[in-house]
Amino acid sequence: MGDAPTRVAVVGAGVTGLTVVFRLQVADPSIDVVVLEASQRPGGTLRTVEVAGIPLDAGPDSFLGRKPWATELCHELGLETTRPAATGTWLWTHTGLVPYPVGTAFGIPGDLGDLFHWSGLSGRGRRRALRDLVIRKRREDGDETLGGLLRRRLGDEATDRALAPILSGLFGGDVDTLSADATFPELHRWERAQGSLIRGAQAALRDAKGGGPRPPMFVRPRDGAARLTDELAGRADDRLRLGSRVEAIAREDDRWVLRTASGSVHADAVVLAVGPATTRRLLEPVARDVSADLAEIPVVSVGVVLLVYREGSAEQLPGGTGFVVPRGEAPMAACGLVSETWPEPAFGSRAVVRCTVGGAGEEDMLDADDADIVRACTSHLAALLPLPQEADAAVVVRWPGAVPRYLLGHLERVARIREHLPPGIFVTGQAYDGIDVAGCVRGATEAAEAARHFVDATRKERTA
């Protein structure tokens, strides 16, 4: 056993698992790293599909600019990044699309005049939101739901009609079950420091102005978000084993053994970069104490509808990156105007649009046939935007159980899970470290560092 090379096995080759491998390769090439991926394709949710001959992102299509970790990783890998060609987001209302005010932080306007006159809310809704400036701050510390916090400060109308649509999308919807501290910890900080979310937004916007150039809202590698995982997978090379679903994890002698249909892999450390349900199943025999907390991280399904319209259609579109929809008001939760935001020569003059469907409380939509989903989206879009009734080409991509829910108490839950893991087992990824790609990259970097320290210590023990 003393002569066996120290090995780290990574389970799951999404952006998280692949980043762990890359970080370990760079930090210590003497560590033997293997990444086991169930499917025949690396990248997980980062995936490209062809629609009318155009490759389009079917999962994430960009990274949040305010979180630098994914962009930095792209640059380390030599990938060029681009920023959106359009700015500004629209809100769906019963009377048509209304632009969000220009200066907002997490959807909250910093300019009182903007809020006072904004037609996205009724006069009553706006007056209620402005009471945020005078309402006393919460006495208790600790988590509350994101909906609870927004409703308390800004009222139900601003919460349901304006903020939930823009804040809850990445988190699978339903602000009333999401943890405020795990989703937007800044909001509680603003309330504590400024006594108001509006004043907090004003301060954040002032700080951003003073602190040099503001990062763009979104960033992505040229040619699409999936370029990041393509590049990472290329660098992982023969460390990447596709079609290797890990079925079970056990302890044998002083190593971990991972069982797959094509054989067993022995490792000193294991980094699990898969969803919470799979993690729970794999850890059940070796770490029963984490089971209850993992079960409290449910997942929700979403879908992406990619639409390519006829030549000439792009010219009709309004500027802007797209629009978001209050819960249940339209077939889609959000719509991205891809040809406005990320124009590509391959689009010609065709409008390219991407709708997100499903999410908490709206998963039934995903049970419908593709044709019905496409029809629901295109006819709704035709009523809102100068687009034809039908698209020339459409693809529906379903992502079953792809979005973990950060419910009330999520941060404590994750801390407890990590505290109760056996030595040499690490968990990272979307369920724990950040819902988005940048959060996953940061979490993966930390997990790689922790695994490296662990195998270093193991090596020293073996040679002592």
Instruction: Please name the amino acid found at residue 149.
Output: L
Provide, rounded to whole angstroms, the least separation between the CB of residue 259 and ligand FAD: 10
Provide, rounded to whole angstroms, the least separation between the CB of residue 145 and ligand FAD: 21
Provide, rounded to whole angstroms, the least separation between the CB of residue 83 and ligand FAD: 14
Tokens found for residue 397: 């991509």
**Which of residues 230 and 436 has its CB atom nearest to ligand FAD in the complex?**
436
Provide, rounded to whole angstroms, the least separation between the CB of residue 407 and ligand FAD: 17
**Which of residues 326 and 359 has its CB atom nearest to ligand FAD in the complex?**
359
**Which of residues 408 and 441 has its CB atom nearest to ligand FAD in the complex?**
441
Provide, rounded to whole angstroms, the least separation between the CB of residue 95 and ligand FAD: 28
- Binding residues for ligand FAD, per CB under 6 A? 11-17, 36-39, 44-46, 59-64, 170, 245-246, 273-274, 278, 302, 304, 399, 402-403, 429-430, 435-438, 440
Element spanning 91, H or E: strand 89-93
CA–CA separation, 230 and 236 (whole Å): 10
Beta bridge partners of 308: 352, 393
DSSP state of 401: E
What are phi and psi for residue 200, nearest 5 degrees?
Answer: -65, -45
**Which of residues 430 and 445 has its CB atom nearest to ligand FAD in the complex?**
430
**Which of residues 191 and 436 has its CB atom nearest to ligand FAD in the complex?**
436
Element spanning 301, H or E: strand 299-308
Task: Give SS3 for 130.
Answer: helix
**Which of residues 70 and 154 has its CB atom nearest to ligand FAD in the complex?**
70
Could you identify the residue written with the tokens 């991407």?
354
**Which of residues 157 and 433 has its CB atom nearest to ligand FAD in the complex?**
433
**Which of residues 163 and 170 has its CB atom nearest to ligand FAD in the complex?**
170
Provide, rounded to whole angstroms, the least separation between the CB of residue 71 and ligand FAD: 11
With beta carbons less than 8 A apart as the criterion, state whether 431 and 275 touch: yes
CA–CA separation, 307 and 325 (whole Å): 18
CA–CA separation, 165 and 107 (whole Å): 9
Provide, rounded to whole angstroms, the least separation between the CB of residue 325 and ligand FAD: 16
**Which of residues 35 and 158 has its CB atom nearest to ligand FAD in the complex?**
35
With beta carbons less than 8 A apart as the criterion, state whether 229 and 15 touch: yes
What are phi and psi for residue 448, nearest 5 degrees?
Answer: -65, -40
CA–CA separation, 426 and 418 (whole Å): 8
Provide, rounded to whole angstroms, the least separation between the CB of residue 436 and ligand FAD: 3
Provide, rounded to whole angstroms, the least separation between the CB of residue 286 and ligand FAD: 15
CA–CA separation, 450 and 423 (whole Å): 11
CA–CA separation, 437 and 188 (whole Å): 24
CA–CA separation, 325 and 334 (whole Å): 6
Q: Within 10 A of 344 (CB to CB), how many other CB atoms are there?
A: 15
**Which of residues 17 and 320 has its CB atom nearest to ligand FAD in the complex?**
17
Provide, rounded to whole angstroms, the least separation between the CB of residue 205 and ligand FAD: 23
CA–CA separation, 448 and 27 (whole Å): 9
CA–CA separation, 362 and 20 (whole Å): 34
